[in-house]
Amino acid sequence: MSKSGFEIRADLLSQAQGMLAENHNNQVMAIQYNNEVLDQKTPLPINNITTSDVIKTAKELYEFVNEKQ
């Protein structure tokens, strides 16, 4: 059974949120490593993922899916 447009958009929103959270976590881990191993003093970023960020990323994913090649 194929997914409805609503289900596709909901999946894309979930994927976009997951991508943004993972990118933030990777950034934090890199800074923590540099601070601990390389003795740097970079503060950890405070990154609030906004609804606008999630929607923008989901739209980018949707555009890619709809690309005709």
Give 15-49 pLDDT, tens digit per residue.
999 999 999 999 999 999 999 998 989 998 888 99
pTM (two decimals):
0.81
Residue 69 belongs to a domain: no
| 24: number of Cβ within 10 Å | 15
The pLDDT score that the predictor gives to residue 65 is 82
In total, how many domains does the chain have? 1
How far lies 34's CA from each of 4, 20, 30, 44, in Å? 45, 21, 6, 11
Asked whether residue 55 carries a pLDDT value surpassing 90, the answer given is yes
The whole domain housing 48 covers 5-64
